[in-house]
Amino acid sequence: MPTRDQHVVAILAYDGLCLFEFGCAFEVFGLSRPEMGSNWYRCVIAAAERGSLRGTGGVQVVADGGLELLPKAGTIVIPGWRGPDAAAPRPLLKALRNAHARGSRLVSICGGAFVLAQAGLLTGRRATTHWHHIKKLAAAFPDIAVEPDVLYVDEGLIMTSAGSAAGLDLCIHVVRRDFGARAANSVARRLVVAAHRDGGQVQFIERPVQRRAGAKLSMLLETIRGRLSESWTVERMARDACMSARGIHRHMRDATGMAPGEWLLAERLARARDLLEETRLSVEMVAVEAGFGTAATLRNHFKKAVGLSPAVYRSRFEVRI
């Protein structure tokens, strides 16, 4: 039995392969990224079944090998599936169960959750899939705690994502777990996507994606980001942007989708998260630098937004590779 390597990512290929989901996984784990150093992922394509493999649209897929590649993979990605009613091959299900027992991480994108469900690996766990198939997953597998309104669910060694593009969010999240925020942000920039999107659920919220904003407002937002430790009232924001208080509310909502206070809190939480991940500053100093003033105030807001205390968050998101 080959030794499992946490740097190896095996992406499954099957007949009827969902190419977009496959592409999301390969873009994150399969491309050469010399700037990340020698410890970056090594990607292999593993055929989930025998015979010819064609992707949607008739593209022929040539895998690096079959299920024999899975035992040495630290992470296995299931990029979609043929359909919610399509049975997965028994050898594949057995291989996934064995991989999980060995400690490999299993990541499903979109309909790939149905494969994990058929393998019995989602029993008693939270999971998600494409919104179009959420009810079917819940009905077919009532022992799964199906989450209908999230981009992805992280259950440690088993992760599931919602529809196709949410798989990209999950893959970047995996990078964040393995290499830290800077690496995840770097990959996201290369892909020209947000390092994390808010899917309307309590997750680890990144800075809100800014929409079109005027020059004055853009300058104000950048100034605030650089001086988060200072006091920023709505009145000060309006004065610095040469707007009325009513105007700053309207322009901030147009540009960020948030009221000024909401945006400021999200920025401070993002700054606190970065400091917790990338520095050894005390929680008290993180609170000051991020503009919360006191550790108690930081803990209160952080717990509500993230679901973890700052100390637990720091321990969970330390660089692991």
Residues 73-120: pLDDT tens digits?
999 999 999 999 999 999 999 999 999 999 999 999 999 999 999 999
CATH number of the structural domain spanning residue 262: 1.10.10.60
Regarding whether 173 and 230 lie in a shared domain, the answer is no
**Inside any domain, residue 196:** no
Evaluate whether residue 38 is within a structural domain: yes
Task: Give the pLDDT band of residue 195 (cuts 50, 70, 90).
Answer: low
Residue 39 sits in the same domain as residue 122: yes
pLDDT digits (tens, 9 = 90+) for 115-167: 999 999 999 999 999 988 999 999 999 999 999 888 899 999 999 999 888 99
Q: Is residue 68 part of a domain?
A: yes
pTM for this predicted structure: 0.66
Overall number of domains in the chain: 2
CATH code of the domain in which 176 resides? 3.40.50.880
Question: Is the residue at 241 inside a domain?
Answer: yes
Range of the domain at 301: 207-321
Q: Determine, yes or no, domain membership for 185.
A: yes
Q: What angle do CA 226, 227, 231 make, to 5 degrees?
A: 155
183 and 212 in a single domain? The answer is no
User: Is the domain of 50 the same as that of 92?
Assistant: yes
